[in-house]
Structure 1
Amino acid sequence: MRVPVKVTAALFAGGVLLALLTAAMPAEAAAISCTDTDLPVTGPGLPPPVPGAPATVHGRPCLPATSGSGTDVPDTVQLLVHGGTYNSAYWDLPYRPERYSYQRDMAAHGYATFAADQLGAGRSSRPLSLLLSVRAAAEAMHEVVGHLRAGHVGGVRFAKVVIVGHSVGSGVVAVEASSYHDVDGVVLTGITHLPVLAVGAALGLQPALLDGQLGRLGSDPLYFTTKPGARAGLFYAAGDSDPAVIAAGEAAKDQVSVPGMGTVAVFGIVLPATKGITAPVFQVVGEKDVLFCGLLALRDCSDAGVLRAQEAPYYADPSNLSMYVLPGAGHSVALHENAAEYRDATRSWLRERVGVTPQGYHSIG
């Protein structure tokens, strides 16, 4: 049967259009799979939000593309733990993800991640703030590690888990890794052992229930968030930050438990929990981090070698410690304009110190 010329032309044009649209689609759309899930956790002294039901940690796993057989799904996952007044959006900010999303960039390079909302933030359970000590937060992350290894996230049993923290989340990570010894690598970002954190907190925080943006959550009085406009000075460095990123972070801001932040500072940082970590550690700071660097923190963050010498005494085995300083960046290293350099350095450390190589990664072009 002959197909009419007009129909043939239309089919051809449609095929060309489909090809052009497919070619114009971001590679990320085909290369990355991100979903949402809730995982049950107990945590010491945490009552269930509903009688008889467990507390839950909400998270987003992001996986790279596979060949279709499933045999090249990564066997290693990075468990990402955000800092105070952030939630998991820190790792996947809804603004220019091709430049600022840690999760999507890692997936595009063949690495799996799971970004968790800490208890009290995001879409995780929000228990009384008094219960959210660093121990409770660490135990919840320990249970998430167990879920990742058991195949409860997407049916993938991850053989290796690398736990990655930021700021207050790094203190939680340090306590988790030193208490349970259940991870294969530890990344601590936005943290040193002599913080000026208390100064920043006093100047930049307020009760979440008084915040016009977060007050609707009905939080108890010991959940705090940043004051409007405070994030730029606390978390970012001028000259290496995009005002639109700061605005997106402000729009996505969250709350933090004051008891949790206080016990992180004491038991996670100052004492310190890092003495008990036996896995390889990658410590990352921004050169111009006003909360953890400078004269008041007695930390020189201008040079990775100098900073490593200052931080090494806080680890039982300093040979396990690798240090990286992101030039020109402030506290929130993942959200600065040159954050790609920090992500590249992280991947190099994963390959060299933890033995994690890309999987499910297929370059395009």
Structure 2
Amino acid sequence: MITVGILGGGQLARMMVLAGAPLGLRFVVFDPAADACAGQVAPLQVGGFDDTEALAAFAAKVDVVTFDFENVPAASAHWLAERKPVFPNPAALAVAQDRLSEKTLFQELGIALPAFADIRSHEELAAKVAEFGMPCILKTRRLGYDGKGQFRIRTDADIAAAWQALGAQVEKTGLILEGFVAFDREVSVVAVRGRDGEFRAWPLTTNWHVDGVLSASLAPAVLSAEQQATAIAYAQRVAERLDYVGVFALELFCRGEALLANEMAPRVHNSGHWTSDGAETSQFENHLRAVLGLPLGDTRVLGHACMLNWLGQMPDSKPVLAESAGHWHDYGKQARDGRKVGHANLRDDSALALAAALQRVGEALGRQAQVAPVVETLRGSVTPN
């Protein structure tokens, strides 16, 4: 029996474990936190990501290693790769950890993206803001996620404020300035590449965020066939250049017919959670298939699927479970403001039926604002007779 080691013990690791059980897999999860939620469903080894003694003990228990958390030190990933197969490879992980390296890669691959610049001083920041125009966004090159580690610059006064907020990080994580995109919608490609180079992608997903955190995802996205093909081709270029193995997400801004790359996530992704109940093969199962060198599963969507993120604390499950295709996912976490504690998936063959189900759920849970844009998109996607 194969044992898969997962670096990071959050909800993504938890869902990988649950998806891997029918494949007959065993798991060991490694995380610094003794209460990591994946530890509720698999053996948990507690240790620092830079603790080589703990990593050695972890490596001795597993046959292959993967991640649920992209901010594992690249040096630790390289150290493990000298002892066990590690997927995705540490080089791919290192690129995705650094926004400047990531955007430089996109540029080299001919992928359209907003203007960006490495920022080393307050003077450079002021000069690049003048060049890009306002608004624009100053971000840390490393470690930022879910809206953290960034400052939006809207006025001249914001330049000094942004440097005051993030300038101290220039030597620790580096800083990058990104031009602002007035986009129509945000979409993502969730894709998978196997050890043998086989590549598959799920239908594009439309995403809605609140305060930088994903609120809802809808698949398939309402886009032209050309946009779908372009986005998937972008993802395949990235995967092949990095010799990537496993699932990853490429986030894009949609502006008219143009698609502009935002960032990639080298792991199973929040915007792919709908695949657990709305696709032929989930992102979690396909990630494990890829990592183990197994044939990849079909990525087609089964009708229309929506994921609703639950932050802070879990709401009442009954309105979701009352729906014929409502599915509940509780991560087993303690409630905390802003924390991802679970999600719900709803699916239907009919866009209008899914819109009606979402509206019922939104009204029952007081989440009308969360479901409203999804409902509007679903209803707008139906061509009148």
TM-score over 0.5 (shorter chain):
no
TM-score tier after normalising by the smaller chain length: 0.3 to 0.5
TM-score where L is the length of structure 1: 0.33
Normalized per residue, which structure has more strand? 2
